[in-house]
């Protein structure tokens, strides 16, 4: 789950958007290195993103793709839970991994979508 949000000029940097989310949100908000996608910034360093966490299983990360557009993605913020329940990026998976992946998606799809929409609405309200 992901979405692109156009932000206004008041929140045109990661720091200003982070400060607005931190003050206006009841959820835990942090600025972290993007360990989920391993993106690099212009200097070749690991890029940062904003993580808006609802629980240890539900969060979104937000990062700028250009000067006025923020991309938000659903993530599992807990690194251990992400290893078990996150999206597999392996080129080849065995049958057990495929079956458990299908079961996990069937069980987690509803709560993930609900949490994503709730957090997306909050970012939309603040950024627009």
Percentage of the chain beyond pLDDT 90 is 5
Are 119 and 52 in contact by the 8 Å Cβ rule? The answer is: yes
**pLDDT tens digits along 47-105:** 999 998 888 788 889 898 888 888 988 888 776 666 656 665 566 767 877 777 777 77
Concatenating the DSSP letter of every residue in 65-100 gives EETTEEEEEEE--SHHHHHHHSPP--S---HHHHHH
- Rounded distance between C-alpha atoms, residue 112 and residue 4, angstroms: 18
- Rounded distance between C-alpha atoms, residue 87 and residue 31, angstroms: 22
Tell me the whole-structure pTM to 2 decimals.
0.77
What are phi and psi for residue 94, nearest 5 degrees? Answer: -85, 175
């Amino acid at each position: 789950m992901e979405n692109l949000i156009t932000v206004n000029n008041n929140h045109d940097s990661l720091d200003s958007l982070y400060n607005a989310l931190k003050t206006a949100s009841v959820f835990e908000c942090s600025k972290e290195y993007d360990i989920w996608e391993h993106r690099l910034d212009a200097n070749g360093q690991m890029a940062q993103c904003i993580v808006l966490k609802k629980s240890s299983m539900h969060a979104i990360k937000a990062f700028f793709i250009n000067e006025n557009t923020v991309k938000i993605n659903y993530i599992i913020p807990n690194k251990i839970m992400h290893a078990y329940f996150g999206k597999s990026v392996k080129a080849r998976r065995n049958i057990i991994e495929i079956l458990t992946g299908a079961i996990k998606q069937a069980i987690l799809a509803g709560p993930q979508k609900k949490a994503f929409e709730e957090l997306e609405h909050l970012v939309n309200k603040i950024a627009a």
